[in-house]
Chains A and B, each alone.
Chain A
Amino acid sequence: MPAFTTRAQKARRRASRLNQDGWLYGGLPGLQWEVENARKADRKVMQSIRDDMEHHEAFHDYYHACINCGNCTAVCPAFRFADFGPRIVVQKVMHSRDEPELLYQMVDQYIWACFQCYACWDVCPAHNNPGGLVAIIKEAAVRHGLQSTQKTLEPYSRILYKLATTGTQITPDMHSSVGLFRDWGPHKAELAKHLKEYRDAVPVETLAGVMDKSWKVDRQTMDELLIIEKESGVIDMLKSSAKDVGDVVEEAAAEAIARKESHE
């Protein structure tokens, strides 16, 4: 067995990097493993994600021509600390009309770097909204229940559940365990010790003593949120990308609908 690569092997490897048109994939940058994954992925899913993006209500407000000026990337916070650039996002959206694979290259990790700050929208001379396009692609990834999306959202599931059921997001009881926000400092432990008494003492009536929600919320209000989530398809999205949470929320929504109907 030769210990070196033969010329034939090298040539074959080179040829395998050509796409259907016979062009070498060199062009637009991306994380190497994402590019590889995209090459192997299901074409139907790729096209479906592209269609999902194009049919989004806000796509045509967010997407115009891009002259590659770089203003967006210059102001992007994620660009400083991650391999991410809003200019690349717009360029790939633009070229994905003919090559949906380019869009797919971003769904695993690339788009999740975005801080959704919209500085890119503010400075773009063509009024593109790269951050908005990223949000649209995130929606599409969630709807398609991609494995990478599920993994990305896994550490987030507790918060998803809290939000979907109570309509509030960061709640006092999340601070009673030190673990979740350990890196916010040793004072967190102090806070955790006295949490209940501090919350009891808040001089605002809708906040005092409330631990499991951000503020006191009416039962009916929470029901309304669950009904909105059911009717607008959010629960289906949850079931795609965070199945456990989605199932529980669906049950909660069914109960909410039953309560509503019994009132009518």
Chain B
Amino acid sequence: MSDPVLVIGAGPAGLQAGADLAGLGIPVVLVERRSELGGAPIRWKYKTLAPELRPTEEVMGPMIAAVESNPLVKIYRGSVVERISGSAGNFRVALHTDGAGARELAIGAIVTATGFEHFDASRDPRYEYGRAANVIGIHELEGMLKEGRVVCKDGRKPKRIAFVFCVGSRDRATNAWCCTVCCGVSIKQGIELKLLLKDVEIYNIYIDVRTFGLWEQLYWTSMEEHGINFIRGRVSQIFDTGKQLLVKGEDTLVRGPFEVLMDMVVLAVGITPGEGTAQVAEVLDLKCNTFGFLQPRHPNVHYDSGKDGIFLAGACVAPMSVEEAILGGSAAAMQAAKFVGKSALQAAG
């Protein structure tokens, strides 16, 4: 039996990679920093997935079951990769597990799928995140939607909710890139809020609406079927009056200022490479680009890390949707399978 493939990260990309490799008969070591599998969709309790608002379990359930039920996949929860040595085909990997200490493994190839973190909006003081009671992030709203309970801190039902797009995105002061999905996710959440809270008014305050590809239907549906409002102009400041939130900006289409009172403000917090990605980049000596994401050998071919035997998948390379991360995991698994196959042949012949 060949040395296993190490998959770092058990989000959609890592789970798909692990399932695919095991399905080909290749042993897998799946390392996940947190105590539960599933990555962002499970951690942040996504209720549904854009664009069709299908329940998250439909996708994540089978993926998690696939690795948990396959004897070829050895899962290490609460674990991180601390050190590697050796070379492609013949890695020695040092793992550390919370409460169980260190161990060393022989590994044939590595798939890096360390995912992302949401932008910590308390770094941008204009929005009062972390201070004003009713300013939350899209990641926190998902959990509230899943529980079926969206209320202000003082318990009352919000009548007016604003989504502020591009928080910690497209901003040279924080993160210069676009996070790809938060337009669609915000609009999706707006629709879910309309379904949950019957007479709530939703305002999407945007610069551009980047509902890419087939996600565009969300944009039209939100207006036609749900009466969600769109205001064009980046929010410059949020002030907490104590009772409500004063949201300020320029309406660039009408060319007038707006200062509107909201009961709740949801910040579409962007996607950042995160500590997991940074740590793994250091351990595996992988290049990161100026934005901190893992840099593949070629920007249009994500799985190729430029290092023999190491493959990249998912949001650790660039911000992306769940469906793209799944594709990325599969692609990296294929490359890893090719690689260990060739190694096995060379070893045999």
Contacts and interface: CB of A to CB of B under 8 A. Distances in A.
A74 B257 contact: yes
A69 interface: yes
B237 A75 contact: yes
B257 A127 contact: no
A70 B172 contact: no
Contact of B236 (A67, A68, A71, A126): A71
Contacts of A29: 255
A74 B255 CA distance: 10
A123 interface: yes
A165 interface: no
Given A74-B249, A87-B250, A125-B234, A79 B257 contact: yes
A246 interface: no
B233 to A, nearest CB: 4
Given A75-B236, A79-B257, A125-B234, A70 B252 contact: yes
Contacts, number: 56
Given A74-B233, A74-B257, A75-B237, A68 B252 contact: yes
A127 B174 CA distance: 12
A79 B234 CA distance: 16
B219 to A, nearest CB: 19
A125 B233 contact: no
Contacts of B173: 125, 127
B171 interface: yes
Interface string B173-213: 10000000000000000000000000000000001100000
B251 interface: yes
Nearest to B259: A74
Contacts of B126: 123
A69 B207 contact: yes
Interface in A99-141: 123, 125-127
Given A85-B250, A125-B172, A69 B233 contact: yes
B123 interface: no
Contacts of B207: 67-70
A191 B235 CA distance: 45
A151 interface: no
A72 B249 CA distance: 9
Nearest to A125: B171
A71 B234 contact: yes
Contacts of B237: 74-75
Given A73-B250, A74-B248, A74-B249, A80 B233 contact: no
